[in-house]
Amino acid sequence: MDYESIVKIVSESLSEKRFKHSEGVADTAVKLARQYGWDENEARLAGILHDITKELGPDEQKALMEKYSITLDEDEKDAPKLWHAITAPPYISERFGVSEDVARSVRYHTTGRAGMSLPEKIIYLADYVEPMRDFDGVEKLRKLTFSDIDEAMKLALRMSAEEVRRNGKKVHHNTLEAIEFMK
């Protein structure tokens, strides 16, 4: 399927705001791919698709988990916000035939993981600093993302863990392991 047809499907699957966010992630991912050395088309595709299952309800998410034989771990069962990163990879692999790099960068865009690949770092950070993002410290993180991707990952993972804790939630073990790994 060509990119324009995929964009159309994404726009029909998401609210206008989240679709714009996804376009921002795709554009940012392309810039990062050029800078750090990943295929631009792959980066664009991963960016536009990363949240494609995010607006499905819990029952639809569960139906996808059933379909793709996904089992959630203890940190994921009560964290529906993480589910879209788990259901999207098999869904986009089946529907659009995306590469392993695209699927894996979508898989780890919410939690990170120990030993992230360059594509995984690019989508994680593009999601964090795309132009519509506005939060305390976004400018600093944005700059760092374009100057030192590993330092940016360290900062982003710490900020993400802090935010989860602030919201009274448990930090996913993948995030904790990613922070340890990057030290």
Nearest CA to 164 among 81, 88, 104?
Answer: 81
Residue 183 CB, nearest approach to Fe ion (Å):
25
Three-state SS for 170? coil
What's the token pair of residue 163?
Answer: 């935010």
Of 178 and 183, which CB lies nearer to Fe ion in the complex structure?
A: 178
Of 105 and 144, which CB lies nearer to Fe ion in the complex structure?
A: 105
Does residue 130 belong to the site contacting Fe ion (CB under 5 A)? Answer: no
Of 38 and 83, which CB lies nearer to Fe ion in the complex structure?
A: 83
Q: In the chain, which ranges are continuous DSSP H helix?
A: 3-13, 16-36, 40-49, 58-67, 74-77, 83-96, 100-107, 118-129, 138-145, 149-166, 173-182
Nearest CA to 157 among 133, 126, 128?
Answer: 128
Compute the radius of gyration of the chain from its Cα atoms: 15
Residue 93 CB, nearest approach to Fe ion (Å):
17
Contact 46, 117 (CB under 8 A): no
User: Binding pattern to Fe ion, positions 43-82, x when CB under 5 A?
Assistant: --------x-------------------------------
Q: Residue 163 and residue 10: Cα distance in Å, rounded?
A: 28
Does residue 127 belong to the site contacting Fe ion (CB under 5 A)? Answer: yes
Of 54 and 183, which CB lies nearer to Fe ion in the complex structure?
A: 54
Residue 74 CB, nearest approach to Fe ion (Å):
21
Contact 25, 50 (CB under 8 A): yes
Q: Which stretch binds Fe ion (CB under 5 A): 31-39, 70-78, 122-130, 138-146?
A: 122-130
Residue 126 CB, nearest approach to Fe ion (Å):
9
User: Binding pattern to Fe ion, positions 89-118, x when CB under 5 A?
Assistant: ------------------------------
Q: Compute CA 104 distance to the chain's CA centroid, rounded to the nearest angstrom.
A: 9
Residues in touch with Fe ion (CB under 5 A):
51, 127
